[in-house]
Structure 1
Amino acid sequence: MLPRNTSTDDSAQRSQEQIELSPWASSATSLSAAPTINSQSDDTSKGLEAGKIDSPSPSQVSSACTKTLLAPHYAASTGIEEEKKQISHIRRRFIFVGLFFTIFLSGLDQTVTSTILTHIANDFKALDRIDWVPTIFMLCSTCLNILSGRIADVFDRASVLLFSLAAFVVGAVLSAFAQSIVMFIVARGISGIGCGGMLSLSIIIISDIVPLERRGKYLGFLQICFGVSNAAGPLLGGLFADHFTWRAAFYADMAMGLLTVSYLTLVLWKCRSRLRPAAPVDAASIASRTWRDGLRTLDYIGIALIVASIALIIVGMNLGGTMLSWSAPITVACLVCGVVLLGVFVVVELRVSQEPLVPMWIFGIRNLVIDFAVTFLCGMSMFSIIFYMPVYFSAVFGADSMRAGLLVLPFGMSLSVSSFVTGYFMSGKDRYRLFMRLGPAIMALGVLLLALLSGRTSQATQAVLLIVPGIGMGNVIVANVIAAQAATDAHLIATITPLCEFFLSIGGVFGVALFGAVYRNKLSGILAAALVGESLSAQALISEARKDVSVIYAAGVPDALRKTVAAAYVDAMRLGMWVMLPLLIVAFLLSMAMKGRRTLGKKETQEAALERTVSKD
């Protein structure tokens, strides 16, 4: 018997934390629902469940220490680790370059349409349907976020990434040559499929080939690429639309996409068999699996249910308060059916699916649940700032699309720099937990500062204040991936990583809807009060300002009327920020409940840790 109060016992306790249930679930359910992670023998498994290992032989001690007692992410099989080492250092550098370009393209495509939608609507004479362009893109991208991980586990990562890039290029081609608004919307949906897979697979491949203790640096580099491209998208879109044609933005996407897919095909194709899930039991079967075999293992019922659920929820959230009222039958039906299908999806994954799309037992891991909740709540505030601050600058200062984009630029740039710094300092014990706490706290401070703004605050001051929430979000957007991966085993990387992006995106959907509802209700109330006693022409102008704020800056509009409308937009924005503030406080309090789990440093290899553990026994 091994003594209870030893380093070995502490290590076993760390391993058992992987299947620890959140406070509202029972431990019995956890042990029955969750598979034993990296257990290679019945003796070892029974020992772990009891909190100790009975009468170990030397080989059992070695196996247990190496595969179970060490930090969970280092529990992958030796064969998989040796296979990964076959990817040379030079080839890894080439892979990183290709992934950085992939992330850059994904970020650019997400925002390039923001400043050219008006031009597109005018060309197709379809202003009433233009809102479906970002909705369909977001829908397809979000669905692929959650599906890409499972597909990457069934097939190799390289093939799925190249397929996503191909979909991106096809979407860019169709967008550039679209002859109707329907064709353009379909094209943006195809681009959304590509972007969703590109973002998730890039992070998954980085996680496959970079050890956990150094992974934060590379994720920080990826976030810099993503942030810069996100910020550059509106500027490039406006440049193309003003000086050439809006189609030129998609010509550029098409050219860069073709170059990237060609480059990554050359770099990844020969080593694609080494980019596999690090599951010791399934590694051999996965390596020999054909495409037909892989297709048979997919959970088609789960895929259909989750896609339908996400589609209905996103469409309902986008319809409510904009095209239709929240009480409209179509809006209510979409939201109710979406929630019901989500519940059916959970039941199917628990009771029916042999190889579930999302293993439900992972939601019994305390750190993972907290990580997803914090990501969701921070995503609500992040997307609210991205969507509504440009409208605020246009209304209060009369900024055009290009200038409003420049005023919001400090948020994106500070997010990028902060994510890089966070990734650089991520290695070491519990450091991801520190940044998961700092992020919501700094974001809450930034949102509070925005809620205290007034129309008298200068443009420069307001733009600079956006740096504060950007720093906080930069902390979260890298730390949440490391925290999620540290909470689970290596073979779950492709399942866990897309879920981080999924909860960020779906948080954005709910955040924009909530902020928008509060924003529009406050704005309508103030402007309705302003209509009293005004002339018919002034009433018509104020009513039009609810839909298009630029009308108040037209020639001949009285200054008093302009100030009234601008003040209404200030009050509406401030109320929206006050609503976001308690959500960020909740996120901070949740992050305080996150437990620490050590990520091994550079000098602490598996062999060294094994030698120390055995020598102490």
Structure 2
Amino acid sequence: MNTIETLTNKQKNVIMLGLTLSVLLAALDSTIVSTAMKNITNDLNGLDLFAWPLTIYMLFSTIITPISGKLADTFGRKLFFMIGAITFLVGSVLCGLSQSMIQLIIFRAIQGLGCGILMANTFAMIGDIFPPAERAKNSGIAYSAFGLASIIGPLLGGTITDHFGWRWIFYINLPIGFLFITLILITVPTIKNGSTARRSVDYAGTAVLIAGLIPMLLAFTWAGKKYQWSSPVIIYMFAFSAIMLIVFGLIERKAKEPILPLALFKDRTFRVASTSVFLSNASMFGAVLFIPLFVQVVLGKNATNSGMAMAPLMLSFAIASMLSGRVISKTGKLKIFAVNGFIITAIGFFFLTRFDASSTILQINIAMIISGLGIGLNMPVFTLAVQNAFQQNQMGVVTAAVQFFRNIGGTIASAVFGAIMLSSITNGIKKVDLTQFSSSNPPFDFSTMITNPQALTNVNTINAFKEQVPPSAMDDFNKLLLRINDILSTSIQQVFMASLLIAIAAIAISLLLPNHSIQEKQRQNKSKLNIDR
């Protein structure tokens, strides 16, 4: 029997390599698939299900996060990490073997489950293995993998698809996955609480939580796209979700081993951290989702340029995450990074609200760098805060809960921001007087071009319509396109404004974070912990 303290620095470095690779691989599969979807839908004849392989992955990875965190606390972190890794790799192989879109969607759900289990347990495992001072530095390194994945994911996906076929974007996971599984299996100790008592599983709470989350996340995903926000389908899904979540709360109050203990919310650090990460991810999605759209549709740049516009944000995010982790390790200060991170993010988003059709790529890059620095500075903070505030035997559930609220924030924001943009576009289009664009002889009918406001955000749709315009009406088309660009610019600016307001709200919330320092301290349950090789 050994103790955690017997791990050498070399062993800890190997552990961090394995954990960082697991984060990188799981994060990659949320971005790498996007560039291959056109080839996938063409090969599997599934254009009508285009969004589902992406949606289902995020849906299931979000749902499983709080569940796996609690189960890992009960049955062992290393065990559940391995379950997540194997599930992810099995899902990857099955995705590569898919012969229909339905199969791919089912297998992406399996892959998403593996991703959620990996994410929940990776950061909790960092909390297990490393003392508080080292924990901050290594959390920053692991979080930087998210930024790296966002940069190389689309490029890697396109390259692999073009040269080897889309199936290899899934098969490529196998060698990397086997590497980090081997590293973790050999190096990471198994933590036991020393109790021989039979452990209970909150099956009822788990089932009801799943029943409540699936319709809620689907409703936010579909609202404003597949269905109107006011449609009966969306209303019923939200209503059912609300009922299930209320029932979940009642079950958790009486559960012997609750999946998400309601007592966590009595802790100020947990409340502030959960709210802050929700707002952080929500505000970030305003930039991540809509800057590429702005570059392509408003500025008229190609897809490559729109992708490159995001690179400064993700690169500065990755650098800031690593730097903040290292500085926190030395100073022990958390609150200053939380507050200042949100302030810098808000400054970056303020610049975004000033963009219009005359903006340059350089201006966008500067705003992206500022925003990425702010987001990266506070990214590790809140996970570290809750890990420092709770007992060792709650490490998994509190870490997973923070990750869960982070994911929920992004899911809800993407739907709400999309609704804001489309509502603004619709109102703007209603004010367009087409008689101002009828100077050609005979006048060309542009009404079909503005029938579907959502189609105006698609460059391919605009170009397809342009091919139908006769040369005599091309001047009118260009004038109308400028008007539409102004409408689109204004609409996306409203999204950026919403992101700015959320970031400002996050500043106010983060000010409530207790001003505790991360200190080297003895674990309160240290005497109960044993390590098996």
Structure 1 length-normalised TM? 0.78
Amino acid at match of 2:71: I
Mapping 1:457-476, distance limit 5 Å: 457-476=359-378
State how far apart, in whole Å, the 2-side matches of 1:112 and 1:339 are.
Answer: 33
Amino acid at match of 2:515: G
The aligned counterpart of 2:32 is 112
Q: Judge conservation of contact 2:213–2:241 (CA < 8 Å) in 1.
A: yes
CA deviation profile, 1:216-256 (whole Å, cap 9, x unmatched): 11011112222112221111112223344222211212332
Which of 193, 200, 215 lines up with 2:135 in the alignment? 215
State how far apart, in whole Å, the 2-side matches of 1:347 and 1:187 are.
Answer: 33
Which of 572, 576, 580 lines up with 2:495 in the alignment? 576
Mapping 1:268-347, distance limit 5 Å: 268=188, 271-272=189-190, 275-276=191-192, 283-285=193-195, 288=196, 293-294=198-199, 297-347=200-250
In the alignment, structure 1 residue 549 sits paired with structure 2 residue 459: yes
- 1:536 CA drift (Å): 5.6
- 1:89 CA drift (Å): 3.5
In the alignment, structure 1 residue 173 sits paired with structure 2 residue 93: yes
2:379 is paired with a residue whose SS is helix
State how far apart, in whole Å, the 2-side matches of 1:399 and 1:238 are.
Answer: 18
State how far apart, in whole Å, the 2-side matches of 1:537 and 1:207 are.
Answer: 63
State how far apart, in whole Å, the 2-side matches of 1:526 and 1:121 are.
Answer: 33
State how far apart, in whole Å, the 2-side matches of 1:525 and 1:118 are.
Answer: 31
CA deviation profile, 1:140-175 (whole Å, cap 9, x unmatched): 100121112111112221111111111111111111
Which of 398, 403, 421 lines up with 2:323 in the alignment? 421
The aligned counterpart of 2:273 is 371
User: In structure 2, do the counterparts of structure 1 residues 543 and 403 end up closer, same or farther at CA, with 3 Å as the change threshold?
Assistant: farther
2:99 is paired with a residue whose SS is coil
Amino acid at match of 1:600: Q
In the alignment, structure 1 residue 484 sits paired with structure 2 residue 404: no
State how far apart, in whole Å, the 1-side matches of 2:289 and 2:432 are.
Answer: 26
Q: Judge conservation of contact 2:334–2:517 (CA < 8 Å) in 1.
A: no
Q: Judge conservation of contact 1:545–1:551 (CA < 8 Å) in 2.
A: no
The aligned counterpart of 2:107 is 187
Mapping 1:124-139, distance limit 5 Å: 124-139=44-59
Q: Judge conservation of contact 1:141–1:194 (CA < 8 Å) in 2.
A: yes
Amino acid at match of 2:517: R
- 1:553 CA drift (Å): 4.1
User: In structure 2, do the counterparts of structure 1 residues 255 and 544 end up closer, same or farther at CA, with 3 Å as the change threshold?
Assistant: farther
Which of 556, 580, 586 lines up with 2:505 in the alignment? 586
User: In structure 2, do the counterparts of structure 1 residues 332 and 606 end up closer, same or farther at CA, with 3 Å as the change threshold?
Assistant: closer
- 1:537 CA drift (Å): 4.5
Structure 2 length-normalised TM? 0.90
Amino acid at match of 1:593: L
- 1:130 CA drift (Å): 1.7
Amino acid at match of 1:143: I
Q: Judge conservation of contact 1:553–1:562 (CA < 8 Å) in 2.
A: no
Amino acid at match of 2:448: A
The aligned counterpart of 2:338 is 436
State how far apart, in whole Å, the 2-side matches of 1:312 and 1:450 are.
Answer: 33
CA deviation profile, 1:452-478 (whole Å, cap 9, x unmatched): 111101122212211112111112211
Amino acid at match of 1:335: F
User: In structure 2, do the counterparts of structure 1 residues 316 and 545 end up closer, same or farther at CA, with 3 Å as the change threshold?
Assistant: closer
Mapping 1:465-544, distance limit 5 Å: 465-530=367-432, 532-533=434-435, 534=437, 537-543=445-451
- 1:345 CA drift (Å): 1.0
User: In structure 2, do the counterparts of structure 1 residues 125 and 149 end up closer, same or farther at CA, with 3 Å as the change threshold?
Assistant: same
RMSD: 2.1
User: In structure 2, do the counterparts of structure 1 residues 261 and 606 end up closer, same or farther at CA, with 3 Å as the change threshold?
Assistant: closer
Any unmatched runs of 5+ in structure 1? Answer: 1-78, 277-282, 608-617
Amino acid at match of 2:141: F
State how far apart, in whole Å, the 2-side matches of 1:564 and 1:417 are.
Answer: 39
Amino acid at match of 2:21: F
The aligned counterpart of 1:446 is 348
Per mean C-alpha deviation after superposition, the further-off stretch among 121-130 and 434-443 is: 121-130
1:498 is paired with a residue whose SS is helix
Larger radius of gyration: 1
Q: Percent identity?
A: 26
The aligned counterpart of 1:74 is none
State how far apart, in whole Å, the 2-side matches of 1:436 and 1:546 are.
Answer: 36
State how far apart, in whole Å, the 1-side matches of 2:213 and 2:236 are.
Answer: 14
Which of 217, 230, 246 lines up with 2:166 in the alignment? 246
User: In structure 2, do the counterparts of structure 1 residues 342 and 599 end up closer, same or farther at CA, with 3 Å as the change threshold?
Assistant: same
User: In structure 2, do the counterparts of structure 1 residues 400 and 216 end up closer, same or farther at CA, with 3 Å as the change threshold?
Assistant: same
State how far apart, in whole Å, the 1-side matches of 2:178 and 2:31 are.
Answer: 20
- 1:575 CA drift (Å): 0.7
Q: Judge conservation of contact 1:428–1:600 (CA < 8 Å) in 2.
A: no
State how far apart, in whole Å, the 1-side matches of 2:356 and 2:460 are.
Answer: 20
2:32 is paired with a residue whose SS is helix
User: In structure 2, do the counterparts of structure 1 residues 505 and 490 end up closer, same or farther at CA, with 3 Å as the change threshold?
Assistant: same
In the alignment, structure 1 residue 455 sits paired with structure 2 residue 357: yes
Amino acid at match of 1:560: K
- 1:531 CA drift (Å): 6.1
Which of 141, 162, 182 lines up with 2:61 in the alignment? 141
Q: Which structure has the higher relative contact order (CA within 8 Å, separation 6+)?
A: 2
State how far apart, in whole Å, the 1-side matches of 2:185 and 2:433 are.
Answer: 62
Amino acid at match of 1:425: V
Amino acid at match of 1:589: A
Q: Judge conservation of contact 1:410–1:466 (CA < 8 Å) in 2.
A: yes
Any unmatched runs of 5+ in structure 2? Answer: 438-442, 468-473, 524-533
CA deviation profile, 1:301-340 (whole Å, cap 9, x unmatched): 1111111111111001111100000111111111111122
- 1:379 CA drift (Å): 1.1
State how far apart, in whole Å, the 2-side matches of 1:362 and 1:168 are.
Answer: 29
Per mean C-alpha deviation after superposition, the further-off stretch among 139-148 and 530-539 is: 530-539
User: In structure 2, do the counterparts of structure 1 residues 469 and 183 end up closer, same or farther at CA, with 3 Å as the change threshold?
Assistant: same
Q: Judge conservation of contact 2:147–2:317 (CA < 8 Å) in 1.
A: yes
Q: Judge conservation of contact 2:344–2:373 (CA < 8 Å) in 1.
A: yes
Which of 311, 326, 334 lines up with 1:409 in the alignment? 311
Amino acid at match of 1:123: D
Q: Judge conservation of contact 2:332–2:519 (CA < 8 Å) in 1.
A: no
CA deviation profile, 1:393-421 (whole Å, cap 9, x unmatched): 12123333333211111111111111111
Amino acid at match of 2:151: A
State how far apart, in whole Å, the 2-side matches of 1:536 and 1:364 are.
Answer: 65
How many residues are matched? 506
State how far apart, in whole Å, the 1-side matches of 2:160 and 2:522 are.
Answer: 53
User: In structure 2, do the counterparts of structure 1 residues 383 and 117 end up closer, same or farther at CA, with 3 Å as the change threshold?
Assistant: same
State how far apart, in whole Å, the 1-side matches of 2:364 and 2:391 are.
Answer: 44
